[in-house]
A and B are shown apart, each in its own frame.
Chain A
Amino acid sequence: MAKTVLEKIWDDHVLAVRGEDEYLLYVDRHLTHEVTSPIAFENLRATGRRVRRPDLTFALMDHNVPTTDRTLPVRDEYSREQMRALARNAREFSITLFDYFSPWQGIVHVVGPELGLTVPGITLVCGDSHTSTHGALGALAFGIGTSEGEHVFATQTIWMRRPRQMEVRLEGSFKNHTTAKDAILYVIRELGTGGMIGHAVEFRGEAVKKMGVEERMTICNMAIEGGARTAIVEPDEKVYSYLDGAPYAPADEDWEDAKRYWDTLKTDNGARFDKSYRLDVSSLEPQITWGTNPAMCIGVSERVPEPREFEDPAKRRMVERALDYMGLKPGQRIEGTPIDAVFIGSCTNARLSDLVMVARLVKGRKVASGVRAMIVPGSMLVKRRAERMGLHRIFLDAGFEWRNSGCSMCIAMNEDRLGPGERGVLTSNRNFENRAGPGSRVHLSSPLTAAASALEGRIADPRKYSLASIDELELEWASPWIERNIIKPLEGG
């Protein structure tokens, strides 16, 4: 029978079926962080249980870490306590921890793939909804809650209903400064925040094939904002080269075995999907959200909606409420709206290729005065690699802050936030009310749109800006671990 890539991985990990629709899956990798884990560890202690497979479990600090100077004390006492608790728990349960000071610290969904903890064909879980990101490498990855996390700690398994399957085909090729982020924003805009509920999404099609692994992470990351249970892309040579030499990825003969297995992880011709959606990305324009959920999105040249366009009174009220919260007038153009801040960061768009995009747009240009513009690399390794390329000089010259890694303004659990009523263009994934701080007004966009907006101090169309070339290193992002990338001296450095 023809199978999808998801079904192949699913079937490989099913240990038991209970009742009509409940499957026990083995979990090959469990990633955990300081915010959703403490109560799970507490319960393990209370019940006298151990972590069954500490060798398959990895912890790191990302959600509430400061992104400022790491030699300074962590001021927020609650953040500090959660970080300490994770360090204690990792020690007590013998789990590898990438702590605040680790050169491998970063956002869990950036670090996992980067270190080769995430590889094709494995099941992976993490107590964070954006775990779908790891599907970009062909892993079957689920965001889970704290109780489920405790179950995984103790049993290395998870009970799951089999998700229905949906294919999202992205065809054509990106033009004119549109990116993977614009595509996924558009898909959510079309399907709504509940459009993928109950489904695992496989991203397929010409445009997905042509994407780099990091762009695939962007679309898989945000599938959850359309309600998807997870997302996946067939692994290919690009994924292999992304992982080649990564410290936790298989090596030597294991690497050869792995590739032979990964080659089988393709969706067969004739495999069935419960739902299908197709988008030609060629005619897409840069997208930006205007409202308080990711589906409230328009093209950067469009106008925000008018409540009276909506027949359904509940919809109309929602639009009114969102416009009011966002401080926008019905029917106004989004472009040109003055902003207070720009944030380039998060598990959606803070990998090296995202930073290169921003650098190409802002090189030799200046952030508008009065705009607070911040770049928070997805991991400390991304930061170091960017610095090897000299990108930080471009950012600093342009007037950006160049921070250390963490979730930062995307969830505003550290000091990085917007003040009440402040408006920001963020490359993150959620624009909910109060998301970036109480009263914050968040517009989600691609790194290019955010960068252009930083330059103008207003929401801006990135298509006006030419992209500078950086240098020949650009071609060598494939793996952070290939030797020439690590030892090559910087241009002018």
Chain B
Amino acid sequence: MPEPVRRIVGKAAPLEMDDVDTDQIIPAQFLKVLSRKGLGKYLFYRWRFDEEGRPKEGFVLDRKEFRDAVILVAGRNFGIGSSRENAVWALMDFGIRCVIASSFGDIFYGNSVKNGLLCVRLEEEVVKRLRSEAAKGGLLLEIDVEAETIRLPGGETINFKLEPNVKRRLLEGLDEIEATLSEYGERIRAYEARMERFKMPRQTATPLE
């Protein structure tokens, strides 16, 4: 169950790239886990490590000035591709609390909300500007989820928009399963009572051999 997310304050790191797919965020070989813990070390693995697992120089999040970043300013279509929730777990385990981009892959976006990773959509021009500001190093942002604002060091404020349900979920950090069952259990049972037989799998089937 995610913790409530109200305010995120911290350093921003620029990721100068569009179309970052979830295969890049965490390669498939690190999906063979039975626990979600400790995935941060595999974040952007192929960009940070060579084939023998030795660290490569120069990836933005490994540079001294960005190692403690909590906000990632990316490009267009961040998190497209595979549905692997490991992408969100890896980002969060690494310490990232918020990704800013001009658009997100749909499944990634949904997975983020469930885990309390804030995804902020902004106009491409604004994202570009934030990215170049962040690239100078040491850009501290203050994000207020309730007010839907990002405060820059100079006092300038950028507004963003969250879907009401996403905002509520981030602020409350609720156990969704419990909420669904207690508020809508009746309706679920009602559907099940009227569900046509032809919508159900035939129960007699077993393999022929």
The smallest beta-carbon distance between B23 and chain A, in angstroms, is 4
Q: A21-B165, A55-B201, A64-B32 are in contact. Are A15 and B187 (CB under 8 A)?
A: yes
A:438-467 near B, CB below 8 Å: 438-439
The smallest beta-carbon distance between B73 and chain A, in angstroms, is 14
Q: Which residues of B contact A146 (CB under 8 A)?
A: 85, 111
Interface size range on B against A: 35 or more
CB of B83 closer than 8 Å to a CB of A: yes
CB of A127 closer than 8 Å to a CB of B: yes
CB of A433 closer than 8 Å to a CB of B: yes
Please state if A261 and B196 are interface contacts (CB–CB under 8 Å).
Answer: yes
Interface readout for B75-110 with A: 1 if CB under 8 Å, 0 if not? 111001111110010000000000000011111001
Q: Most chain-A Cβ atoms within 10 A of its Cβ — which of B111, B191, B195?
A: B191
Q: Which residues of A contact B163 (CB under 8 A)?
A: 19-22, 161
Please state if B77 and A127 are interface contacts (CB–CB under 8 Å).
Answer: no
Please state if B202 and A248 are interface contacts (CB–CB under 8 Å).
Answer: yes
Q: Which residues of A contact B46 (CB under 8 A)?
A: 433-434, 438
Interface readout for B46-77 with A: 1 if CB under 8 Å, 0 if not? 10000100000000000000000000000111
In the assembled complex, the Cα of A316 lies from the Cα of B111 at a distance in Å of 31
Please state if B177 and A42 are interface contacts (CB–CB under 8 Å).
Answer: no
Q: Which residues of A contact B168 (CB under 8 A)?
A: 19
CB of A411 closer than 8 Å to a CB of B: yes
Q: Which residues of B contact A42 (CB under 8 A)?
A: 34-35
Please state if B191 and A38 are interface contacts (CB–CB under 8 Å).
Answer: no
Please state if B29 and A129 are interface contacts (CB–CB under 8 Å).
Answer: no
Please state if A193 and B80 are interface contacts (CB–CB under 8 Å).
Answer: yes
Please state if A247 and B202 are interface contacts (CB–CB under 8 Å).
Answer: yes
In the assembled complex, the Cα of A248 lies from the Cα of B114 at a distance in Å of 33
In the assembled complex, the Cα of A354 lies from the Cα of B165 at a distance in Å of 43
Please state if B24 and A147 are interface contacts (CB–CB under 8 Å).
Answer: no
CB of A16 closer than 8 Å to a CB of B: yes
CB of A128 closer than 8 Å to a CB of B: yes
Q: Which residues of B contact A434 (CB under 8 A)?
A: 23-24, 27, 46
Please state if B177 and A255 are interface contacts (CB–CB under 8 Å).
Answer: no
Pick from A18, A143, A314: contact of B165, CB below 8 A. Answer: A18
CB of B156 closer than 8 Å to a CB of A: no
Pick from A121, A129, A194: contact of B76, CB below 8 A. Answer: A194
CB of B148 closer than 8 Å to a CB of A: no
A:126-169 near B, CB below 8 Å: 127-129, 143-148, 150-151, 154-157, 159, 161
The smallest beta-carbon distance between A66 and chain B, in angstroms, is 13
CB of A396 closer than 8 Å to a CB of B: no
Please state if B24 and A433 are interface contacts (CB–CB under 8 Å).
Answer: yes
Pick from A18, A145, A159: contact of B111, CB below 8 A. Answer: A145
CB of B31 closer than 8 Å to a CB of A: yes
CB of A197 closer than 8 Å to a CB of B: yes
Q: A104-B207, A197-B103, A318-B18 are in contact. Are A413 and B28 (CB under 8 A)?
A: yes
The smallest beta-carbon distance between B48 and chain A, in angstroms, is 12
CB of A81 closer than 8 Å to a CB of B: yes
Please state if B83 and A257 are interface contacts (CB–CB under 8 Å).
Answer: no
Please state if B208 and A103 are interface contacts (CB–CB under 8 Å).
Answer: yes
Q: A144-B83, A197-B103, A229-B106 are in contact. Are A257 and B198 (CB under 8 A)?
A: yes
The smallest beta-carbon distance between A43 and chain B, in angstroms, is 9
Q: Most chain-A Cβ atoms within 10 A of its Cβ — which of B75, B84, B103, B199?
A: B199
Interface readout for B107-151 with A: 1 if CB under 8 Å, 0 if not? 100110011000000000000000000000000000000000000
18 contacts between A and B (CB under 8 A): A19-B164, A24-B180, A55-B200, A55-B201, A78-B32, A121-B199, A144-B83, A145-B83, A147-B111, A154-B181, A161-B163, A197-B80, A198-B106, A227-B105, A318-B18, A413-B29, A430-B21, A433-B24
Q: Which 9 A-B pairs have the closest CB atoms?
A: A247-B205, A78-B32, A258-B198, A145-B111, A147-B114, A145-B85, A250-B198, A194-B77, A248-B201
